[in-house]
Amino acid sequence: MPKRPKIITVTGGKGGTGKTLCAVNIATMFKNESKKVLLIDGDVENPNTYLLLGGTLNNKSLVNYFKPQIVEDKCTKCGICAENCASHALLYLDGAVPIPMLTVCSGCKLCYKICPSGAIQPDSKIIGWKYRSEVNSISLLIGELKPSEARSAAIVEDLLKDVMTIIEQKPNEFDIIILDTAPGAHCDVELLINMADLVIPVTEPTKFGEMDLLRIIELITLLNKEYKVIVNRSSLLGFRDEFLENLSNKNIKILGDIPLDDDVVHSYCQGTPLMDVEANYSKDGGAYASFLKIYDKLKEWIHEKDNR
């Protein structure tokens, strides 16, 4: 039986902790060892993995969403569609043709399926885009929500459908799939965590960081997923040891920590990952060495997982 790729979801309860930095550099370290890597940007309101990889958005495709269109001539005004719409997205007044309210419609298609008169036609609405490209031998799949649209989870679901198709049809195409999530603990993030073999929440050594980390760990635990934490900017104001000890005392599993390092800032500015072997960063730098330790631990985790 072919081995399917391992899926690692990089997440974090709070914005700006360095999720994308970690996702991109972990992807780069696997790529450096000639692994076939697919990196998915599921932060669909702010997709920016490609910027940190120095790439561009290519091969755009539309993400459409079902929208009900009511054919007035066929509608008997029975109200069955409105009665059964769990989102209350069909405004129905006795004896009138229902009016779809698209801002609350979930696109579930139930009304279309149950209308006894065939008066509901499937129509579609563009809610965003997907991009597929290859940057420095890393395959990128990016979702982007259209401004003013609210259905970010639908874009994430669409990305995950592509992942499932790849896994089912070409299980050997990739060795590793890395999913980068939006911040927070909402349904988009839940979908991406639910796909993971390992979840990496990224935090920083502050009270806010800890509070949001605990929230995301609660979600990960509810979903029964394995996780290991990265503490980014760990040398911030000298709280590293205290913060790591505090996490240990709470039995929180730690994958590693990354200290503040100018090279990380340079990598953001230049759009070149810190761990890119071709890039001109210090190979003795604190962040570089820390990422290598994290990578070693990930390889150990893969080895253990393959031998369980």
| Site for ligand SF4 contains 120 (CB under 6 A) | yes
| Site for ligand SF4 contains 117 (CB under 6 A) | yes
Q: For residues 56 and 76, which CB has a smaller minimum distance to ligand SF4 in the complex?
A: 76
Q: For residues 124 and 246, which CB has a smaller minimum distance to ligand SF4 in the complex?
A: 124
Binding part of the chain for ligand SF4, among 31-39, 114-122, 154-162, 283-291 by CB under 6 A, reads 114-122
Binding part of the chain for ligand SF4, among 31-39, 70-78, 237-245, 246-254 by CB under 6 A, reads 70-78
| Site for ligand SF4 contains 154 (CB under 6 A) | no
Q: For residues 89 and 163, which CB has a smaller minimum distance to ligand SF4 in the complex?
A: 89
Task: Supply the minimum distance, in Å, between the C-beta of residue 64 and ligand SF4.
Answer: 13
Contact 42, 7 (CB under 8 A): no
Q: What angle do CA 87, 147, 60 make, to 5 degrees?
A: 105
| Site for ligand SF4 contains 108 (CB under 6 A) | yes
Q: For residues 22 and 154, which CB has a smaller minimum distance to ligand SF4 in the complex?
A: 154
Task: Supply the minimum distance, in Å, between the C-beta of residue 33 and ligand SF4.
Answer: 46
Q: For residues 81 and 255, which CB has a smaller minimum distance to ligand SF4 in the complex?
A: 81
Binding part of the chain for ligand SF4, among 55-63, 100-108, 165-173, 266-274 by CB under 6 A, reads 100-108
| Site for ligand SF4 contains 157 (CB under 6 A) | no
| Site for ligand SF4 contains 39 (CB under 6 A) | no
Cα(249)–Cα(245) distance, rounded to whole angstroms?
6
Task: Supply the minimum distance, in Å, between the C-beta of residue 247 and ligand SF4.
Answer: 42
| Site for ligand SF4 contains 87 (CB under 6 A) | yes
> Residue from 98, 128, 183, 184 that binds ligand SF4 (CB under 6 A)?
98
> Residue from 24, 37, 111, 230 that binds ligand SF4 (CB under 6 A)?
111
Which pair of structure tokens corresponds to residue 138?
């890393």
Q: What is the DSSP string of the chain?
A: -PPPPEEEEEE-SSTTSSHHHHHHHHHHHHHHTT--EEEEE--TTS--HHHHTT----SEEEEEEEEEEE-TTT-----HHHHH-TT--EE--TTS--EE-TTT-----HHHHH-TT--EEEEEEEEEEEEEEEETTEEEEEEEEPTT---HHHHHHHHHHHHHHHHHH-TTS-SEEEEEPPSSSSHHHHHHHHT-SEEEEEE-SSHHHHHHHHHHHHHHHHTT--B-EEEETTTGGG-HHHHHHHHHHTT--EEEEE---HHHHHHHHHT--TT-TTS---TTSHHHHHHHHHHHHHHHHHHHHHT-
Cα(85)–Cα(111) distance, rounded to whole angstroms?
7
| Site for ligand SF4 contains 80 (CB under 6 A) | yes
| Site for ligand SF4 contains 216 (CB under 6 A) | no
Q: Which residues bind ligand SF4 (CB under 6 A)?
A: 68, 70, 75-81, 85, 87, 89-90, 98, 100, 105-111, 115, 117, 119-120
